[in-house]
Chains A and B, each alone.
Chain A
Amino acid sequence: MSFINSSWWFVPLIITIFSGILCPAMGTVLITHRRLLQVNLISHCVLPGLALALALGIHPSIGGVISGLLGSVIAESLTNKKSENYEAIMNTILAGMLGFGVLIIPLLGIRIDLEAVLFGDLLTANFGDLLRTIIAFLVFILLMTFGYEKVVYVGLDPEGASASGINVSLLNLALSFTTALVIVSSMSAVGVILVIALLSTPTLLGLNKAHSLRIAMMRSSFFGLCISLLGFILSIVFNLSPGPAISVICVASLLIPKLRK
């Protein structure tokens, strides 16, 4: 009863709901665009921006989004998807950026709870975290409202999309920016590293036999919401850390045979 009477769980629950819907929807777009490695890259590139922003007195989220986006742009300018070195270069940059972030934290003389950034600390989330999640949610809705057809065309046939007049580079930049926002907004819920599970696993369920990207996104969001809520409830009941709990549930859902096809 004391749990229901107190209200500390309200903000974390709303963040769980928003992240549970938003991350899988974003993940569906990224998987269908074969850009999942970008998520990994951006999530690792967030840390140096967070540290620098804190040192400069700017909101850490702004620094995180900028450095995530910057890492993505640098990686894309150094290689392209058709290159055989693509994955190696992407992985080198993501490891290097994470290492850079860890290096500059003591040099800048700042304190960052690395565990909370990387793996989330949902139960201590505040209204600032909620606001960040809502902003990322709104940006994603805007992108899908005004660019859905372009997102579909570029994901299906990038060359044809370019020939039809779509600025593919600009759209990819918009996708990277939104991805960085989603990752930073999920920092409190599951952390910038564990968010990869929430971006990928529900999508595997949602994409199965979906006849359009829109339907796939809605299904993925539904499964993501179920996984997130289950993780949230288990965390409270068994006094677990929510981020890792959600990630483990994602892995457990791989036991559903259809997902592994």
Chain B
Amino acid sequence: MATLVAENLTYSYTKKSKPVLSKVSVEIKPGTLTALVGPNGAGKSTLLRILQGQCIPDNGQITIDGEKLIRQRSQVSLMPQRSYMNWKFPITVEKLVSLGQIKYSKSKSSSPFQIKALLANPNAWINKCCELEATMQRVGIANIANRRLDSLSGGQQQRALLAKTLMSPAKIYLLDEPCAALDPPAKEDFLKIVRQLADAGLSLMVSSHDWGTSLNSYDQVIVLDKAVLASGSPDSIKDKLEDINISSIEDNSCCD
């Protein structure tokens, strides 16, 4: 269990450009499912990258249980947008998921696959294999473990990518538009899995364009458009959303 707190984050792509994020503060509490909603170009992906430590903010700070993010990066795992993946790569679902265990950085929570750890504890290998199997079962892809990635449907690919993300030894999981390009049943199915994971104690933040009824699945909703426009429970947000001129936000949209 870990709590992530980000305060007053400001970020610009270059020194001269306008900030894509301005004084953004968010909190991810243990065992909660948070929705990060906003139009294209709102800065959702950028915020998730900052929270994962891939981008350094110009201002503001991020802590996990009071410690700076830089020392706790391994506690945060990011599931990238599907467009960043090379789905044609010749690899099976099982191998993709197992890649999530790999850590080459010298962090404390290094992979048990590392040789020293393996020699010290041969059971680690067996445990890790069991974990792999359990994770695939958890997201419902155990039956397609030996299939090639490009033979899967969009929903199955997203579940495989989620399983890979869950294999990392993190406590906070950031999912970047996992439901993009999914049809409504696949989307509903994916959200059910994510809800179950949160109920099981994982902390997740999911970015989305969806302003609709699926927000009810979340514990907390953050509305972002370069700054946090509103945050709170789905019910309280719905009232606030009526006050926010969504159409004007969408007019400002550009690529993230």
Contacts and interface: CB of A to CB of B under 8 A. Distances in A.
Q: Chain B at the A interface: mostly helix, strand, loop or mixed? A: loop
B35 to A, nearest CB: 22
Contacts of B89: 32, 152, 155-156, 213
A163 B52 contact: yes
B239 to A, nearest CB: 37
Contacts of A32: 86, 88-90
Given A152-B99, A164-B103, A212 B86 contact: no
A211 B146 contact: yes
A211 B93 CA distance: 10
A212 B104 contact: no
A126 B58 CA distance: 59
A18 B84 CA distance: 35
B86 A160 contact: no
B54 interface: yes
B54 A159 contact: yes
A157 B86 contact: yes
Nearest to A216: B90
Nearest to B111: A164
B77 to A, nearest CB: 8
B90 A215 contact: yes
**How extensive is the interface on chain B, given as a class?**
20 to 34
Nearest to A210: B90
Interface string A58-96: 000000000000000000000000000000000000000
Interface residues of A, number: 25
B80 A153 contact: no
B120 to A, nearest CB: 21
A165 B90 contact: no
Interface in B78-122: 78, 80, 84-86, 88-92, 95-96, 99, 102-105
B128 interface: no
A238 to B, nearest CB: 37
Contacts of B92: 211-212
A164 B111 CA distance: 11
A207 interface: yes
A209 interface: yes
A32 B86 CA distance: 8
Interface-centre pick from A210, A211, A215 (highest chain B CB count, 10 A): A211
Contacts of B84: 157-159
Nearest to B49: A159
Interface in B168-221: 168
Contact of A165 (B91, B104, B146, B148): B104
Interface string A134-162: 00000000000000011011011111101
Interface string B151-164: 00000000000001
* Shortest 4 CB-CB contacts between residues of A and residues of B: A165-B104, A165-B105, A156-B89, A210-B90
Interface of A: 32, 34, 149-150, 152-153, 155-160, 162-166, 207, 209-213, 215-216
